[in-house]
Amino acid sequence: PDYELCKSGKSQSPIDISAPSRSNLDLLSFHYKDTPLNILNNGHTVQVTYGLGSFINLDGEYYNLLQFHFHGPSEHTVNGKPTPMEVHLVHKNTQGGLAVVSVMMTTGKEHAAIEKIWSSIPAKVWGKVNNEKVSVNGTQLLPESRSYYHYPGSLTTPPCSEGVRWYVMQVPIEVSKDQIAKFKSVIGFNARPVQELNGRKVQENN
């Protein structure tokens, strides 16, 4: 019963992004600091917990960066096409509202920040690594272009809570074949299928 929304919800994520409407949405304002490498393998994904003091500014409201985690293949698709992986940067405001910035990941050159994380992935479920000597920065997971798609959605894992503000970056980042294979070898397939739009509008900011 606690997960009923996963079946009955009308604003579920992920979605296929096609024919978005152009809008004069503001650019996202990122304010990410370095954080010590704090990794959890929870059996469903690889999650990096973020320290205090990093946030995005949405319409003058601060959403603090809590963690980022990975999916393979991508959960969102664009015109029906997935990418090999996707990273979700999860933010929360003081009222408990959630905003997720999503970045698609395509096959290409090795990604230095991903390699730093991958080299410390715990192999066992519920394994943790906390290395104060190594730092990461969420900015390194963002493409140079700040163009994005925006829509109202949900968490993609139970309890599938709705009211989540989604910002899917239009330009992907590159990771190597070996990096994709490493994630699959530890986690395997962990993407939820795309959900019905049910009349929701998808906007793009350019």
For 139-159, the pLDDT digits (tens) are: 999 999 999 999 999 999 999
Q: Is the pLDDT of residue 128 over 90?
A: yes
Catalytic annotation present for 91: no
Q: Which residue has the tokens 């397939």?
A: 189
For 27-49, the pLDDT digits (tens) are: 899 999 999 999 999 999 999 99
**DSSP for 100-149, written as a single string:** EEEEEEEESSPPHHHHHHHTT--SSTTEEEEEEEEEE-GGGGS-S---EE
Element containing residue 32 per DSSP (H, E): none
Active-site residue, from 31, 44, 71, 88: 44
pLDDT score at 206: 72
Contact (CB, 8 A) for 78 and 60: no
* CA 143 distance to own-chain centroid: 13
Provide mean pLDDT across the span 119-145: 95
